[in-house]
Homo-oligomer: A and B are copies of this chain.
Amino acid sequence: MSVTEPQGFRAAGVAAGLKTGDRRDVALVVNDGPDHHAAAVFTSNRVEAAPVTWSRQVVVDRRVDAVVLNSGGANACTGAQGFQDTHATAEAVATALEISAGDVVVCSTGLIGELLPMDKILNGVTAATNQLSAQGGPTAAEAIMTTDTVAKQALVQGDGWQVGGMAKGAGMLAPALATMLVVVTTDAVVDPEELDRVLRTATAQTFDRIDSDGCQSTNDTVLLLASGASGVTADPQALTEAVTTCCAQLARQLIADAEGAKHDIAIEIRSAATESDALEVARSIARNNLFKCAVFGNDPNWGRVLSAVGTTAAAFDPQTLDVSINGVEVCRSGGVGEDRSLVDLTQREVQVTVDLHAGDVTVTVWTNDLTHDYVHENSAYSS
């Protein structure tokens, strides 16, 4: 159940003093090969953190030997000094492991706009190097947590190979990635172009379909590393499915641990004309604060759903919209349907289904409710 379950990987997570209370905050994942193939997707936020700028260049040649990750500071909006700090971190890893700094991905997460305490980071890199082990995956997953309350890991079995993963993220979760660091490993034998295709297919169906609060981060990174250590060449379709399943499990864990959330909400859009229509409608609901507050209050206020749908450009006729909440069709043909008092919202998981009657595409986006705890957590985040 971790990034070190697939063969060919070692990892460690150590406490370097970036976070308070002796919690782990620096993680290292190393691919011992024989292959060192990698694929990555990064935030689409144009204000990107120094480690994202660095790592984009690292993965251009599709070779990654190690990834170093820290919580306790995002190293975003930190100018030239921030980039030098990322570079110095990669160099420290490279020196310790006798590899090239150009093959070291760097990921950071935490508060934006403050320089990292580099003495602590570099001590952390040394400590993590010394503790690397094939059982180290869980400690690495722990070290990347910020406001997360649990570590997120996943494991999928292939035919002679495995896919393991870890992720962090609890707020600032939105399509086009979020404050989210994800490392997925596999020991399958797969060529790097195929690996890139696999990762893009998987993230489009998983991380790009969760939307906690509509806020996109400066630091998002999803990295897929392939060691080839199993010696088994993976069928591309099977590998795509395994990586997608691994990413879906991690994405679901992110929503389940979203800041302050009391409900996990699956928004299913049925009978859309196109996938982009379905996603636009789903996201307009997922980002509607009034809807999210209503779910928090166990209130099946379907008017909030319809008014969100009405703001989109998707193909539909307002007179034929149907909306069900937890199986009760509260809105039928754009008007009043079954009695809303029949809806039970006391369970954590909520299913909202909107039928657009405009085509044959179905898409599900996961989100969560908007709660007092979200407001509390984010009104006290940096102070």
Would you call A334 an interface residue if the criterion is a C-beta within 8 Å of the partner chain's C-beta atoms?
A: yes
| Residues of B contacting A47 in the complex (Cβ-Cβ under 8 angstroms) | 306-307, 309-310, 318, 321, 334
Q: Nearest chain-B residue to A378 (Cβ)? A: B293
Would you call A205 an interface residue if the criterion is a C-beta within 8 Å of the partner chain's C-beta atoms?
A: no
Q: Nearest chain-B residue to A43 (Cβ)? A: B310
- Asked if A318 and B48 make an inter-chain contact with CB atoms under 8 angstroms apart, the answer reads yes
Q: Given the complex of chains A and B, what is the CA–CA distance between A171 and B288 in angstroms?
A: 12
Q: Interface with B: A20-28, A214-222, A238-246, which one?
A: A214-222
Would you call A290 an interface residue if the criterion is a C-beta within 8 Å of the partner chain's C-beta atoms?
A: yes
- Asked if B303 and A46 make an inter-chain contact with CB atoms under 8 angstroms apart, the answer reads no
Would you call A370 an interface residue if the criterion is a C-beta within 8 Å of the partner chain's C-beta atoms?
A: yes
Number of copies: 2
Q: Given the complex of chains A and B, what is the CA–CA distance between A383 and B341 in angstroms?
A: 9
Q: Interface with B: A108-116, A182-190, A270-278, which one?
A: A108-116
Given contacts A301-B382, A374-B293, A375-B370, contact A335 B218 (CB under 8 A): no
Contact partner, A112, options B297, B306, B311, Cβ 8 Å:
B306
Number of interface residues of A (CB under 8 A): 70
Would you call A327 an interface residue if the criterion is a C-beta within 8 Å of the partner chain's C-beta atoms?
A: no
Q: Given the complex of chains A and B, what is the CA–CA distance between A172 and B178 in angstroms?
A: 26
Q: Given the complex of chains A and B, what is the CA–CA distance between A378 and B372 in angstroms?
A: 11
A359 to chain B, nearest CB (A): 17
Contact partner, A310, options B45, B82, B319, B372, Cβ 8 Å:
B45
Q: Which of A119-173 contact B (CB under 8 A)?
A: 171-172
- Asked if B375 and A371 make an inter-chain contact with CB atoms under 8 angstroms apart, the answer reads yes
Contact partner, A77, options B77, B215, B334, B377, Cβ 8 Å:
B334
A161 to chain B, nearest CB (A): 37
Contact partner, A307, options B218, B308, B340, B381, Cβ 8 Å:
B218
| Residues of B contacting A318 in the complex (Cβ-Cβ under 8 angstroms) | 46-48
Q: Given the complex of chains A and B, what is the CA–CA distance between A301 and B172 in angstroms?
A: 14
Q: Nearest chain-B residue to A296 (Cβ)? A: B379
- Asked if A299 and B112 make an inter-chain contact with CB atoms under 8 angstroms apart, the answer reads no
Contact partner, A378, options B74, B297, B302, Cβ 8 Å:
B297
26 contacts between A and B (CB under 8 A): A45-B311, A47-B334, A48-B318, A76-B306, A77-B306, A77-B334, A78-B336, A79-B335, A111-B303, A112-B306, A113-B303, A113-B330, A113-B331, A113-B335, A172-B307, A176-B311, A213-B290, A215-B290, A218-B307, A289-B374, A293-B379, A294-B382, A296-B375, A301-B382, A374-B375, A375-B375
Chain A residues close to B by CB (< 8 Å) = 44-48, 74, 76-79, 81-82, 111-115, 171-172, 176, 213-218, 287-290, 293-294, 296-299, 301-304, 306-312, 318-319, 321, 330-331, 333-336, 340, 370-372, 374-383
